[in-house]
Structure 1
Amino acid sequence: MKIKEVETVLKAPAPHMVGDGFRVHNFFPSGYEIDMSPFFLMDYGSKIEFSARKEPRGVGIHPHRGFETVTIAYHGAVAHHDSSGNSGIIYPGDVQWMTAASGILHKEYHEKNYSLKGGPFQMLQLWINLPAIDKMSKPKYQAIKQADMASFVLPNDGGKIEVIAGKFQGLKGNATTFTPIELYNARLNKDGEATFNFPDHFNTGFMVIEGRIKINDNEIADVNSFVHFKNEGNEVKIVAMENSIILILSGEPIHEPIVQYGPFLMNTEAEINQAIEDYNQGRFGYIEE
């Protein structure tokens, strides 16, 4: 088994606000020009304290087409509503997997009880591209609670690996995906070790949510940094230098042209123009303010 070596360890880019409720560091595509297909975008909200507020902060109604949004909660709580009639709240450890596909309107905002109390807030959102054949499929919504996740307990009190999508040590994640994707939360205790294996052509990255880790016995990655791996080799070993949480993402790239316009991710300019027209004509459905 050949080691999958680190390409680079990336520090968090300067943050910006999405709405008034989400302070995020965009690692890609704008923060760093790295190829992480099928993952098109990663907005990481490093830990921040929000003051108590009666009116919840968040992002108002906006459309999406052509991809999926995956939101992973570490601190705080977020509520969601969309034009397909789905709604839910994600608490720390939970995942919200929304397939926009042919088109959806949604809004995301701080859950009301969290908003009234305030406190620490830390989230991450991925945009996962869909292959052309699936871009106009029916929208869907997967609510994945931490309590329902497959969890592999590491030996020697090393911690655990929560499987969101894909498979680890024979345990399968609950999320259904359109292309091969591995997505886990590795929750390691100090000195805990874990070894992962991915196909050499998969685009692979580790986001250090908490703590500090050593990778393949030679690279160090601190909290709020992203580890981007080379597309060769299979095996990655990590050791937690302190109690750590690492989001593991690896996926088979989609080798198709991409045209992005704001919240639309399609293959051609014509499809973008159609998305804009469909949105303006109200074809994405309706959602209350």
Structure 2
Amino acid sequence: METNVKKVSAILNPPAPHMVGDGFRVHNFFPSGYKLNMSPFFMLDYNAKIEFSARNEPRGVGVHPHRGFETVTIAYHGAVAHHDSAGNSGIIYPGDVQWMTAASGILHKEYHEENFSKKGGPFQMVQLWVNLPAKDKMSPPKYQGVKHSEVQKFTLSDNAGVIEVIAGDYKGTKGSVSTFSPIEVYNVRLTKGGKTSFNFPSNFNTGFVIIEGNIKVNGSENTKTDQMVHFKNEGEAIEIEALENSVILVLSGEPINEPIASYGPFLMNKPEEIQQAIADYNEGKFGYLEE
């Protein structure tokens, strides 16, 4: 067993926060906060829990384009309303997941949901950017919204907690989200003293974000709220134990070994594809979305 442990490469404190629009105060763990190998995950913005004061005009991010990847929004506290140029809209409440495939191009905006904005309160979210393989970058946009009640759940024995499988497969419990490459995304909710283990292929890039609580990894490494655990690309087995009631976002995926050209909200393979994305956006090919 010991020889097959996926060892911790680093325990990372949240980088200094910055604002995205006026509604999201995020710590960017990668690619700018830390230079981590986390492909197919290209970006992780973590809005640690903060209190937003009540106000009538909802905070948020105005209309912006995306091409070449997927945006994944996972809510823990608060509520976000979103709209896109394909006609999709909805509200993401705690426990909900919005998995948006921008692919060939989409316009998007997201704001604090109206009632949440008027009341104020705790707000905590994660947004991931998931890269797409070159062959899929120009596929049609699509949208997968999963309510918390619809997330597939694996109940651990001994009242240890529950694993919410957003994407991938945990011991036969399959996430309802379809992905373009092999990806595992779970919300793990452990009770104090609860333990569980995972097995991910050695080449999968793997990281855990401690959303809440305090856990021990592989019997030795302690990590706490708002930290990220990054793992080495060797071994397969990871064991965690909750030192208090804890919530952990688990990310693991097969790397996409293709060149990357990124510019703002565009994530492609070659610089000329970025130029094309900018031209297409300027020509209105991403559709229309009212501010």
TM value normalised by structure 1: 0.99
Alpha-carbon distance in structure 2 between the residues aligned to 1:119 and 1:177: 33
Separation in 1, partners of 2:95, 2:191: 16
**2:72: which partner in 1?**
70
Aligned equivalents of 2:57, 2:222: Cα separation in 1: 41
- Between the aligned partners of 1:129 and 1:198, the Cα distance in structure 2 is 19
Q: Is 1:52 matched with 2:17? A: no
- Structure 2 runs not aligned, ≥5 long: none
Q: How many percent of aligned residue pairs carry the same amino acid?
A: 70
Equivalent residue pairs, number? 289
Over residues 116-164 of structure 1, what are the superposed CA-to-partner deviations in whole Å (9 max), with x where a residue is unaligned? 1000000000000000000000000000111011111111111100000
**In the TM superposition, what are the counterparts of 1:98-177 in structure 2 within 5 Å?**
98-177=100-179
The corresponding residue for 1:191 is 193
Aligned with 2:20 (options 5, 18, 21) = 18
Q: Which residue of 2 aligns with 1:86?
A: 88
Structure 2 length-normalised TM: 0.99
Q: Deviations over 1:54-113 (max 9, x none)?
A: 010000000000000000000000001000010010000000000000000000000000
Partner of 2:275: 273
Amino acid in the other structure paired with 2:120: G
Shift of 1:34: 0.7
Which AA in structure 1 matches 2:257? H
Q: Provide the rounded CA distance (Å) in 1 between the counterparts of 2:119 and 2:225.
A: 26
Give, in whole Å, the separation in 1 of the partners of 2:241 and 2:261. 39
What SS is found at the alignment partner of 2:206? strand
1:256 aligns to what? 258
Residue identity in the other structure for 2:164:
E
Runs of 4+ in 1 over 2 A off after TM superposition: none
> CA shift at 1:288, angstroms?
1.4
Cα root mean square deviation, aligned: 0.5
Per the TM alignment, residue 169 of structure 1 is displaced from its structure 2 partner at its CA by 1.3
Q: Tell me, what secondary structure is at the counterpart of 1:128? A: strand
Partner Cα separation in structure 2 for residue 242 and residue 53 of structure 1: 34
Partner SS state of residue 187, structure 1: strand
Query: Deviation per CA, 1:210-262, whole angstroms, max 9, x where unpaired?
Result: 00000000111111000000001000000000000000000000000001100
**In the aligned structure 1, how far is the partner of 2:237 from the partner of 2:5?**
5
Q: For 1:113, what is the secondary structure of its paired residue?
A: helix
- Matched residues in 1 for 2:100 and 2:55: separation? 27
